[in-house]
Amino acid sequence: MPQPIPYQGSKRNIAVQILNYFPPGIDCLIEPFAGSAAISVAAAYLGLAQKFHLNDRNAPLAHLLQLVITQPTTLAAQYQELWTAQLGQERVFYDQIRAEFNQTHRPELLLYLLARCVKASIRYNTNGEFNQSPDNRRRGRHPSSMRQELVYFSQLLDKRTIVTNFDFREITAFINPKSDLVYLDPPYQGTSGTRDSRYQNGVDYCELVAHLKELNALAVMFALSYDGIKGDKTYGVELPRELQLHKVFLNAGRSTQSTLLGRNDTTYEALYLSKPLMARLGLSDHWRADKRFQAPMLPTPTPQLQLELPYHS
């Protein structure tokens, strides 16, 4: 799947596992926490939804998503200009672009910063300014490769996607419970509201639970990525049982940190499924997945789209 926006926490690597719990025939797939939109891109490729709604509270990121979808070649040219201008002065240039982005919030500058920063990880200071350092070992994705990714992404989502910049709770007004599916991937607990914040806007646990109760009351089909386990360590507090969500664990593989430390710890990311989604999938209320193993897979859909992809030109 194309991923022109490098983004730490992207679900690209486990997208197929997540999509195994999406039924066919979705009218609109809605992502209140879109990030790099990896799930919507994969769902578009597999023909699982007719339309898409990408939302992110990070305004420059939402603007960047909009430009990737509607103006990929223009954005590619802007990125190439930045990438070329950095040559021979990579560190100084990065600092200049970072300072300019914090003043202007121009989306093409954000794309360049994400391509160059450490671990493709956004970090903000207490003033809401982007403050992540560059990865001095690389110059970012080559412009020709970036152009291919941008065009491919656009081919999958253009003409059938809306992009918004609302608080996640405002997205409820756009949902048709009978035909839409909502995929939520909020900031994990412990990654926002801290000194080294990954997100401009964190998500309060109680506010999220209240929102999920609202979705339940509306009988919305939704899936939620929220916590997980690595080795013997559990990340985050489980969502309350009163929500009646079905929790499965997806094998995200060996973590980079474990590899660096010489360990063999496997990371499992949790996916919560709402009762209406379970019913649509034909899974009973008593169905459970073993916590220590990859969740059982449903049949993988066959790709429905026939595109002239730049990779194959």
What is the Cα–Cα distance from 55 to 186, expressed in whole angstroms?
11
What pLDDT, on a 0 to 100 scale, did the predictor assign at position 265? Answer: 77
CA angle, residues 163, 51, 284, in degrees to nearest 5:
115
pTM of the entire predicted model: 0.86
Residue 38 has pLDDT above 50, yes or no: yes
Least confident of 54-63, 223-232, 285-294: 285-294
| Band of residue 10 on the pLDDT scale cut at 50, 70, 90 | confident
Euclidean distance between CA atoms 280 and 49, whole angstroms:
15
Q: Residue 272: is its pLDDT beyond 70?
A: yes
Average pLDDT of the chain to the nearest whole number: 85
- The whole-number pLDDT of residue 105 equals 96
pLDDT of residue 284: 67
User: What pLDDT, on the 0 to 100 scale, is given for residue 195?
Assistant: 41
Higher pLDDT, 143 or 238: 143
Tens digits of per-residue pLDDT, 22-33?
998 999 999 999
- List, for residues 82-114, the tens digit of each pLDDT value: 999 999 999 999 999 999 999 999 999 999 999
Confidence of residue 292 (pLDDT cuts 50, 70, 90): very low
Mean pLDDT of all residues in 241-263: 76
Hey, where are the domains in the chain? 72-146, 204-295
> How would you write 229-275 as a 3-class SS string?
EECCEEECCCCCHHHCCEEEEEEEEECHHHHHCCCCCEEEEEEEECH
Choose among 296, 229, 231, 228: nearest CA to 258.
231
70-84, 105-119, 174-188, 247-261: segment of lowest average pLDDT: 247-261
pLDDT, position 238: 83
pLDDT band at 43 (very low <50, low <70, confident <90, very high): very high
CA atoms 167, 10, 203, 223: torsion sign: positive
Distance (Å, whole) CA 114 – CA 141: 10
- How far is it, in rounded angstroms, from Cα 130 to Cα 158? 29
Ranges of H-type helices in 71-220: 72-85, 90-104, 107-116, 143-157, 205-217
Residue 297: the pLDDT is: 44
pLDDT of residue 84: 98
Going by pLDDT thresholds of 50, 70 and 90, the confidence category of residue 224 is very high
Contact 48, 301 (CB under 8 A): yes
Residue 270 confidence (pLDDT) above 50 = yes
**C-alpha to C-alpha distance for 282 and 277, rounded to whole angstroms:** 9
- Tokens representing 184 are 């939520």
- The pLDDT of residue 303 is above 50: no
CATH number for the domain whose boundaries are 72-146: 1.10.1020.10
The pLDDT score that the predictor gives to residue 234 is 75
Q: Of 34-38, 159-163, 187-191, 237-241, where does mean pLDDT reach its minimum? A: 187-191
